[in-house]
Amino acid sequence: MEFQHLLIAGIAALAAGFVNAVAGGGTLITFPVLIALGVSPVSANVTNTIALCPGFFGGTFAQRHDIASLKERFLVLMPFGIAGGIAGGLLLLHTTESSFRVLIPYLILFASILLAVQSQLKKIITRKNRSAVPSFIHKAGTFLLIFLASVYGGYFGAGLGVMLIAVLGLVYNDNINKLNALKQALSLCINLTAAVYFAFSGKAQWSFVIVMAAGALAGGTIGGKLARKMNPGIFRWLIVCTGIIVSLFYFFK
């Protein structure tokens, strides 16, 4: 493996960690970069999931106080996140490289759209009267939606946070800060589960993993310190536009 490839992957992970801390959507940077460096699609997704996992620890630690106040709710939802993460990882590893290559543009486009509507979605959630939601959604419906979102997270992952915010905002009558904290804890759970499963799959490119993990951790640390001083909308739309361009490239490739 050439040093230049590791350097490019490390820089991409640094940018992804920074963007994840400020606005989200870092996977839309690192995944296409790994593909461009010659890593096969499934292997690139596996490598990317493991490498970016440290960034979720940082985000969870930063919101640990809010998460502690939601401990009981998190413990109820966690098994469904774990089950979904494993199911999504299992589904990915049983997808052929050629089939996953066909899905790439659709997955990237879907993640880009999720990121594009993130701000509007949060506004809707804060205004929504969830008391009108039928009680069955707060029970079996909640578990099913969390499981399905977690399957997506284990399979691809980009835009998972936005998807979880949508589900949690539908079923819980909490302010956006608590929803974000619960989303962060569940995202860590789902990604860590998939990452542990992928670590034993034989698909991970460990040289990339090590370099990218360090880059993502550094980028997340920098982004966390600067997040309040920057406009996340600029980064969000930059990533959205990049994701759409990349998806179109794969559509017509």
Q: For residue range 187-237, list pLDDT tens digits in order.
A: 889 989 999 999 999 999 999 999 999 998 888 778 766 656 666 677 678
Residue 54 and residue 21 in contact, taking contact as beta carbons nearer than 8 Å: no
**DSSP for residue 230:** S
100-116 in b/e burial notation, b at 16+ Cβ within 10 A?
Answer: bbeebbebbbbbbbbbb
Q: Tokens 């993993």 belong to which residue? A: 209
Tokens of 110: 């879907």
Residue 39 has pLDDT above 90, yes or no: yes
pTM metric for this prediction: 0.82
Can you tell me the mean pLDDT for 153-160? 86
Residue 70 has pLDDT above 60, yes or no: yes
Portion of the chain with pLDDT greater than 90, in percent? 37
Non-local CB neighbours of 9 within 8 Å, separated by 6+ positions: 30, 33, 34, 37, 208, 211, 212, 215
Which has the closest alpha carbon to 61: 175, 193, 185, 186?
185
CA dihedral 88, 9, 164, 114 (to 10 degrees): -110
Q: For residue range 98-155, list pLDDT tens digits in order.
A: 999 899 899 989 888 887 887 777 676 666 555 555 565 556 778 898 999 999 999 9
